[in-house]
Amino acid sequence: MNSPMASRAVTGLCSPPLCGFICHRFFAHRRPSHIRSPGLGIWSPPLSRSRCSGFSLRLRSSPRQIHSLVESVMEELESIRSRKRLRALNKVGFPASKELSEVKLGKRVLQKGLLLEFRKDPQKLLLAVTQKPDGKKNWMVYDQNGTVSSIKPQQVTYIVPGIEDFDHTDIPAFIHKAQDLLDPTMLEYAWAELLENKKQVTVEELAEIIYGSSESLESYCTHLLLSKDDIYFNEIERKGSHTAYEPRPVVQVEELSHRKRVKEESEKELQEFVGLLKSAKAKPVHSKPPKSSWTSEESIERWVKSLEAYAVDACENEEQKKTAGNILKAMGLLKTSAAAVNLLIDIGYFPVHVNLDLLKFNIRTEHSDEVLLAAEDLMMQSADLDEVSRKDLTFLKVYAIDVDEADELDDALSAMRLQDGRIRIWIHVADPTCLVKRQSIVDREALRRGTSIFLPTATFPMFPEKLAMESMSLQQGKLCKAVTVSVTLHQDGSIAEYTIDNSIIRPTYMLTYESATELLHLNLEEEAELRLLSEAALLRLQWRRSQGAIDTTTIEPRIKVVNADDPEPSINLYVEDQSDLAMRLVSEMMILCGEVVATFGSHNNIPLPYRGQPQSNISSSAFSHLPEGPVRSAAFVRIMRAAEMDFKKPIRHDILGVPGYVQFTSPIRRYVDLLAHYQIKAFLRNEPLPFSSGELEGITCLVNMHVKFARRLYNSNLRYWLLEYLRRQTRGRKFRALILRFIKDRVAAILLVEVGIQASASVSVGNLIGDEIEVVIEEAHPRDDVLSLKEVLVDQEAITEEVS
């Protein structure tokens, strides 16, 4: 502040030129009464102390005298202000008549020693001193950082006036002095004075009004104020480094000021929210604030909901997306959904293993109170429209076989050897339509869901849980209403006779697949019926194969996760071999039931959701060289064509090797099965069929969309937990793997036999499809769906030494 220029800027506050007085005294205490201050209402001159340019007043005497003196002083002060304002405006070329005049922009040619501002890149402006020409148009400059570079004339944003031979070493001091003089409020006062004249003004002319001087430092400070201003002045003309400005209209200034205040308030809220995030993030896992704390206040909830929507790629609009991006930026994170997910996990809002798909697709996890009340009413009802026609099959031994954690049991089996040696089978299917009426509120909700969703962490049933488990499901030792498909098989496994009846049964055993297989291996005399079911299943398999059926049995993983919201939940892994005796038994009986229902529908012209699947153009014999089981099944699956539907008559299902097929055995879990029940039950009662073929097609199309999504949801969630299971394994643990096929060169698709997950890995030369190798886990990242495996190479020399 020791330079003459700076001295003038400071001393001008209380001495000529008068525009300095206008800036620091007059502007500070008066604003024109016709101009609104943004957000402050109408401006009016306050009655405050008056002391400027040596004029002072000591107030004594009575209040009335004081009031009179104040009025006199204010009138005199206003007269002084008017004269000074007029002088300042005249000084920059504004005539007293307030007529508009044209502002002429001069042109300055670049020459050695000029102090200028240039744009180094889109985000950075620097001061520099010109050194010498560089070619025809460019100039070499020495910038404020001590760097010499070549700039184009287009990069120059401002040439500081009044300087012709500036020393580049003085740039830092010049910048420091400029920073001391900057006061953004000065623009507001200058705008208020210039608004009446609606006059164009250059940077130097505005410097005269603000600082009382257009010298180098003051002009540069004014340029800085204008370059950062987005409210009061509008840039109207630019010629090279010279720019003309005009004051914006009052309405526009008010709007811009309002936006600025809103933005500042939003930025303040953002910083406060970021502070909460950082605080929560720093806390230990068990000390994180509960999720409810982030939604207790509307302002905080808005921020966190924006972040949540961004995390699951479900932002409702660009504003929400921008808000989340600003949060991530303020936290020093990348603007990615993965970064948002990890942040929400770090603050405890999301559990470590959050299922993003449930949030992204807004899955119905709970039934509404209205549906639950309707379900309660159904459970209280005792009327049964089919009571008279139900066959009493309580004399049969009934086996219900399912996974051990199954909640909804909707099918069971019985068998008997007839006197002629043939086997008769009863397939009992739960009868939910005896409770749920078509188009009732419970039925409509089941239709909206389309299927029960089974995940490793939870089950989201199609029907309310209590209704499905207690009133609809088959329960051991209790009288249960069912629809029973009775079939007598020929010796070759084909269908000899069949009936479909409403029935009442009493399930004898509830078995898991493991326990049923164990009973079959024990070959107990008292469980002869179970052996008959197994024998019938074998006959059916042989018959279907003779009809061209393709065996796609493989190894399937099943996971049950306990306390999924914990950072380290318990994972129970089961690997099911679909060729297992009990699984084969159940699978064959379900296929048999589907074939019978399709045949029944065909004979009685009943519109049903008939399902078929054409054979591939590639013959199954092309894979006869592959070993049976997962390897051959994987090859078959890759060439299988998409399933097809017909709603008037059966179509052949080549993959199953049956002339027709209808899904019928899971009406509690699948709405398409329930549709078939509605049709069959109406026919058995001699009532009009509830659905035409066209109506069935429309409903099934809608339901299949939900089914496909549920399947994708299940597969992605299962894979996540399989990867989490592998991530936890001891490093270096070896896993058995089957080579299913080669993808490229020595990269093979493999199946981890002990886990049931498919992956890819490079395998050594000499390995063939169907060979078993050992691999170790190099990387497993569930959230990123990354699984990296490495083959364990056999040390042939060590084997040779061991053998010798």
The whole-number pLDDT of residue 46 equals 34
Residue 246 located in a structural domain: yes
Q: How far is CA 304 from CA 160, 325, 349, 500, in A?
A: 48, 12, 9, 56
| 699, 744: one domain | no
Residue type (1 letter), 556: E
pLDDT band at 240 (very low <50, low <70, confident <90, very high): low
Average pLDDT over residues 593-610: 98
| 587, 515: one domain | yes
Question: What is d(CA 606, CA 600) in angstroms, rounded to the nearest whole number?
Answer: 8
Neighbours of 796 (CB within 10 A): 8
pLDDT in tens, 289-322: 999 999 999 989 999 999 999 999 999 999 999 9
Task: Give the lowest-confidence range in 24-28, 210-214, 454-458, 629-633.
Answer: 24-28
* pLDDT score of 460 more than 80: yes
pLDDT in tens, 686-697: 999 999 999 999
pLDDT in tens, 73-88: 445 544 544 444 444 4
Average pLDDT over residues 775-788: 96
Residue 379 located in a structural domain: yes
Average pLDDT over residues 130-141: 94
Q: Which CATH number characterizes residue 744's domain?
A: 2.40.50.140
Last residue in a domain, options 716, 748, 773 = 716
The whole-number pLDDT of residue 76 equals 54
Q: Could you tell me the sign of the dihedral formed by the alpha carbons of 45, 46, 50, 53, in that order?
A: negative
Residue 545 located in a structural domain: yes
pLDDT band at 109 (very low <50, low <70, confident <90, very high): confident
Residue 49 located in a structural domain: no
The whole-number pLDDT of residue 622 equals 86
| 704, 739: one domain | no
> Which of the two residues, 61 and 74, has the higher pLDDT score?
74
Q: How many folded domains does the chain comprise?
A: 4
What is the C-alpha radius of gyration for the chain, rounded to an integer number of angstroms?
Answer: 42
pLDDT band at 408 (very low <50, low <70, confident <90, very high): confident
Q: How far is CA 586 from CA 413, 536, 569, 629, 676, in A?
A: 8, 11, 32, 18, 20
Task: Give the lowest-confidence range in 5-19, 256-270, 630-644.
Answer: 5-19
| 501, 512: one domain | yes
Residue 178 located in a structural domain: yes
| Pairing outcome for strands 509-512 and 399-402 | parallel
Question: What is d(CA 748, CA 760) in angstroms, rounded to the nearest whole number?
Answer: 5
| Pairing outcome for strands 124-134 and 138-143 | antiparallel
User: Are 144 and 166 contacting, i.e. CB atoms less than 8 angstroms apart?
Assistant: no
Q: What proportion of the chain, given as a percentage, has pLDDT over 90? A: 74
| 375, 491: one domain | yes
| 215, 150: one domain | yes
DSSP string, 656-715: TTBS--B--S-TTTBHHHHHHHHHHHHHHTTPPPS--HHHHHHHHHHHHHHHHHHHHHHH
CA dihedral 376, 381, 387, 388 (to 10 degrees): -160
Last residue in a domain, options 684, 716, 748 = 716
The whole-number pLDDT of residue 616 equals 86
| 228, 261: one domain | no
Question: What is d(CA 254, CA 715) in angstroms, rounded to the nearest whole number?
Answer: 56
Q: Measuring CA to CA, which residue among 526, 317, 585, 354 is closest to residue 457?
A: 354
Residue 466 located in a structural domain: yes
Phi, psi of 689 (to 5 degrees): -70, 135
* pLDDT score of 603 more than 90: yes
Three-class secondary structure of residue 369 per DSSP: helix
* pLDDT score of 135 more than 70: yes
Average pLDDT over residues 321-343: 96
Task: Give the lowest-confidence range in 58-67, 240-249, 381-390, 743-752.
Answer: 58-67
* pLDDT score of 771 more than 70: yes
Burial of 472-502, coded b for 16+ CB within 10 Å and e otherwise, reads bbbbeeeebbbbbbbbbbeeebebeebebbb
Average pLDDT over residues 84-95: 44
* pLDDT score of 10 more than 60: no
| 533, 390: one domain | yes
135: left (phi over 0), alpha (psi -120 to 50) or beta: left
Question: What is d(CA 31, CA 85) in angstroms, rounded to the nearest whole number?
Answer: 12
Question: What is d(CA 471, CA 465) in angstroms, rounded to the nearest whole number?
Answer: 10
User: Are 702 and 631 contacting, i.e. CB atoms less than 8 angstroms apart?
Assistant: no
Q: For residue 135, what are the domain limits?
A: 114-252
Q: Measuring CA to CA, which residue among 293, 386, 278 is closest to residue 331?
A: 278
* pLDDT score of 781 more than 80: yes
| 176, 224: one domain | yes
pLDDT in tens, 156-190: 999 999 998 999 999 999 999 999 999 988 899 89
Residue 515 located in a structural domain: yes
Q: What is the mean pLDDT of the chain?
A: 86
Q: What proportion of the chain, given as a percentage, has pLDDT over 70? A: 84
User: Are 754 and 793 contacting, i.e. CB atoms less than 8 angstroms apart?
Assistant: no
The two structure tokens encoding residue 300: 């905080």
Residue 561 located in a structural domain: yes
Question: What is d(CA 385, CA 390) in angstroms, rounded to the nearest whole number?
Answer: 10
pLDDT band at 238 (very low <50, low <70, confident <90, very high): low
Last residue in a domain, options 350, 379, 412 = 350
The two structure tokens encoding residue 379: 């459970």
**Angle (nearest 5°) at CA 436 between 431 and 442:** 130
List 752's β-bridge partners, or say none: 737, 757
The three-state (H, E, C) secondary structure of 645-664, written as one string? EECCCCCCECCCCECCCECC
| 293, 419: one domain | no
| 683, 734: one domain | no
| 469, 573: one domain | yes
